Amino acid sequence: MTDTETATGRPRPPTTQPRRASFGPVLRAEWTKFRTVRAWLVGLFVAALLSVLFTFLVANGRHEGSCTGPPPPGSGPNSPGSNCHAGHPFVPTGPDGEPVADSYYFLNQPLTGNATITAEVTSLTGVISTEPANVAPSQTSTRRGLAAWAKAGILVTPSTNQGSAYAAVMATGSHGVRWQYDYTHDSPGLPGLMTDTSPRWLRLTRTGDTLTGYDSTNGITWTQIGTTRLAGLPTTVSVGLFVASPVSFQDSNNGSPTLATATFDRVSIGSRGGAGAVDAWHGQSIGNGSKSFYPTLGTGGYHRSGSAFVLSGSGDIAPGVGEGLLGADTAASSLPLGLIAGLLVMVVVSTTFITTEYRRDLIRTTFTATPNRATVLAAKAVVIGVAAFVIAAISAAVAIPLSEHILKANGDYVFPASALTEIRIMAGCAGLVAVTAVAVLALGAILRRGAGAVTVGIVVFVLPYTLKQVLAGSADEWLFRLTPAAGLDVLGALPRSAHVAYPYTLGNGYYPLTPWAGIAVLCAWVAIALGVAALVLRRRDA
């Protein structure tokens, strides 16, 4: 069409919209440009090297001068003759391989075949330790107070080993009656709280592999609140009454162990229609003491009061979460510094990829070869983005297993991560670096000067990551929500649980956004930078 018009020789009005060049050749040209400057390739290599090096330093510095491997058998962390602090306490693993808390007091007896257990919980009270965090809790220094997730109820388990499968129906401190099984599953019972004036009736039945929980306010009308099949449940299981009381947090950092006491009345065990052996009760403290990671206030115990049983217990039966209890080491927890260091180098490489063209007026040659400037910017963005992605992915692929290995060798507990999670972290790191590289490239196009672009790039896209320690209060949470630092949320790998009252704060290793939301926030920043750059490039003379 254009050719026909040219043939007529009529002068045409110049169009403002430049014709779109086909992308392939421009991309190839920018790639040739990038790979033929050795300093940039060296920059990529340095970025990768620093990432791995700093990750190593952080992982290795978590437990300096410690012994490696698990502690020798029989010697606890505080046992005499061992000044070895390494070797984390035992963390039980649940049926699905996840870390769990499994510490409680259990009054149980073995039971064979199908059965129905019923009990009335008539009271639930508690105390909270008042000792500072670094002093061993003692039963004498406590104040009254019931943890929200203090639990008292009926539990069935194939074994009393920590981490074994279970199902339980229970009254809680302030979450009403619940049906829970295998640590992660939870469903509520009838509305309303259990109080001294309105006791709750609980019932758990076993039929083959199937366990069912019931809730009642009067012991006459029962409501089923949950059921499950525990595959492979042996014929003889332990059934009984349990009490647990989890750590209570006053603020983000300070948790205190608690102890709850519950009164169970009218306990009945109906087995094959007959009455259970009421005197076969056996009291047992599960996962209590210095070997277990979960902080408890004493070992608990029980006594009989007339027809009633009074149990006290400390601990929790729930998913394992968080730093306060376990140390926040995950597959990703050693990565941030290496990531930031690598990012810093990438910022320099990426800005100079465009600012040196301005410095040398090479940009005119570039725009003469490809008049559509947005295409040039896009090609540059793709080149630098892909280069950054690949380099960051490689660094992460090295750094993640390396840091995990070192942390474990240093005796730290590392939250187990599925292969999928590890791949997500790796892709997240790579995406974060790639997207940031594109953003600072856009900055370079806007500012044209290396000094300005590198500084603004570092201040806007790298500095927020480092501000965590400078800011007070909850300001840092917003930092990781709104600023480009939100990208770091892709590193979030600590488990959360809706039925564990834990401060899921940044200070405890929990990022405020989900990984992909974090990347989305970062991408929004990049989109702004790219948009402004494309606009400015088009409007401005080269």
Partner 1 sequence: MTDALHAEWTKLRTLTTTWWLLIATVALTLAVSVAMAAATHLTAGGGGQDPTRLSLTGIYLGQAVIVVLAVLAVSEEYSTGMIRATLSATPRRLVLLAAKAANLAGLTLVAGVLGVAGCLVVGRIMLPTDGLNPAHGYQLVSISHGPTLRAAAGSVAYLILIALLSLGVATAIRDTAVSIGAILGLLYLAPVLAEALTNPLRRHLEQIAPMPAGLAIQATTNLRSQPIAPWPGLGVLTAWALASLLIGGLLLRLRDA
Partner 2 sequence: MSDATIEVTGVRKRFGPTPALNGMTFTVTPGRVTGFVGPNGAGKSTTIRVILGLDAPDEGHALVCGQAYQQLRYPLHQVGALVDAAALQPSRTGRNHLLWLAHSQKMAASRVDAVIELVGLTTAARRKARGYSLGIRQRLGIAAALLGDPPVIIMDEPFNGMDPEGIIWMRQLLRSFAGEGRAILISSHLMGELQDIANHLVVVGRGKVLADASVDELVAHASGDRVVVRTPAPTDSARVLEGSGARTEILDSFTVSVSGLAAQHIVQALSQAGVPFSEVIVQRARLEDVYLQLTSGEVEFRGGSDSGSDGQAKQ
Q: Are 70 and 411 in contact (CB under 8 A)?
A: yes
The site partner of 231 among partner 2, partner 1, none (C-beta below 5 to 8 Å per kind) is none
Which of 89, 416, 450, 507 binds partner 1 (CB under 8 A)? It is 450
Q: Whose Cβ is closer to partner 2: residue 13's or residue 191's?
A: 13
Window 15-54: contact mask with partner 1 (x via CB under 8 A): ---------------------------------------x
Decide if residue 432 touches partner 1 (CB under 8 A).
no
Angle at 186 between CA 207 and CA 419, to 5 degrees: 105
The site partner of 475 among partner 1, partner 2, none (C-beta below 5 to 8 Å per kind) is partner 1
Near partner 2 in 502-541, by CB under 8 A: 539, 541
Decide if residue 355 touches partner 2 (CB under 8 A).
no
Could you give the CA distance from residue 416 to residue 426 in angstroms, rounded to a whole number? Answer: 15
Q: How many CA atoms lie within 13 A of 275 on its CB side?
A: 7
Could you give the CA distance from residue 292 to residue 214 in angstroms, rounded to a whole number? Answer: 32
Which of 1, 9, 231, 251 binds partner 2 (CB under 8 A)? It is 9
Q: Which stretch binds partner 2 (CB under 8 A): 3-11, 92-100, 195-203, 318-326?
A: 3-11
Could you give the CA distance from residue 191 to residue 178 in angstroms, rounded to a whole number? Answer: 10
Q: Is 305 helix (H, G, I), strand (E, B) or coil?
A: strand
Q: Whose Cβ is closer to partner 1: residue 138's or residue 254's?
A: 254
Decide if residue 403 touches partner 1 (CB under 8 A).
no
Could you give the CA distance from residue 20 to residue 5 in angstroms, rounded to a whole number? Answer: 19
Give me 542's structure tokens: 């080269």
Closest CA to 366 of 357, 378, 374: 357
The neighbour count for residue 473, using CB atoms within 10 Å, is 7
The neighbour count for residue 72, using CB atoms within 10 Å, is 12
Q: Which residues contact 32 (CB under 8 A, 6 or more apart)?
A: none
Near partner 1 in 357-386, by CB under 8 A: 359
Decide if residue 140 touches partner 2 (CB under 8 A).
no
Give me the least distance between CB of 135 and partner 1, in Å please. Answer: 17
Decide if residue 113 touches partner 1 (CB under 8 A).
no
Decide if residue 5 touches partner 2 (CB under 8 A).
yes
The site that binds partner 1 (CB under 8 A) totals a number of residues, namely: 40
Near partner 1 in 325-354, by CB under 8 A: 334, 336-337, 340-341, 344-345, 347-348, 351-352
Decide if residue 77 touches partner 1 (CB under 8 A).
no
Region of 97 (left: φ > 0; alpha: ψ -120 to 50; beta: rest) is: left
Q: Whose Cβ is closer to partner 2: residue 8's or residue 221's?
A: 8
Window 24-63: contact mask with partner 2 (x via CB under 8 A): xxx-xxxxxx--xxxx------------------------
Q: Whose Cβ is closer to partner 2: residue 202's or residue 354's?
A: 354
DSSP letter (8 states) at residue 241:
E
Decide if residue 448 touches partner 2 (CB under 8 A).
no
Near partner 2 in 12-31, by CB under 8 A: 12-15, 18-19, 21-22, 24-26, 28-31
Give Cα separations from 205 to 180, 274, 298 (angstroms): 14, 14, 31
Could you give the CA distance from residue 526 to residue 514 in angstroms, rounded to a whole number? Answer: 19
Which of 5, 32, 61, 198 binds partner 1 (CB under 8 A)? It is 61
Residue in the structure block whose two tokens are 């929990």? 510
The site partner of 472 among partner 2, partner 1, none (C-beta below 5 to 8 Å per kind) is partner 1
Give me the least distance between CB of 39 and partner 2, in Å please. Answer: 6
Decide if residue 192 touches partner 2 (CB under 8 A).
no
The site partner of 365 among partner 2, partner 1, none (C-beta below 5 to 8 Å per kind) is partner 2
Q: Which residues contact 152 (CB under 8 A, 6 or more apart)?
A: 121, 124, 170, 171, 172, 241, 242, 243, 260, 262, 264, 311
User: What φ, ψ does residue 337 adopt, rounded to 5°?
Assistant: -65, -45
The site partner of 398 among partner 2, partner 1, none (C-beta below 5 to 8 Å per kind) is none
Give me the least distance between CB of 99 and partner 2, in Å please. Answer: 51
Give me the least distance between CB of 355 and partner 1, in Å please. Answer: 7
Give me the least distance between CB of 540 and partner 2, in Å please. Answer: 8
Q: Whose Cβ is closer to partner 2: residue 26's or residue 152's?
A: 26
Near partner 1 in 266-325, by CB under 8 A: none
Residue in the structure block whose two tokens are 């007070």? 472
Q: Are 309 and 267 in contact (CB under 8 A)?
A: yes
Q: Whose Cβ is closer to partner 2: residue 43's or residue 324's?
A: 43
> Concatenated DSSP letters for 48-107?
HHHHHHHHHHHHHHTTTT---SSPPTT--TT-TT-----SPPB--B-TTS-BEEE-EEEE
Angle at 305 between CA 299 and CA 311, to 5 degrees: 25
Q: Which residues contact 353 (CB under 8 A, 6 or more apart)?
A: 34, 40, 380, 383, 384, 441, 444
Q: What is the binding site for partner 1 (CB under 8 A)?
A: 54, 57-58, 61-64, 251, 334, 336-337, 340-341, 344-345, 347-348, 351-352, 355, 359, 450-455, 458-459, 462-463, 465-466, 468-473, 475
Task: List contacts with partner 2 (CB under 8 A).
Answer: 2, 5-6, 9, 11-15, 18-19, 21-22, 24-26, 28-33, 36-39, 356-357, 360-362, 364-372, 539, 541-542
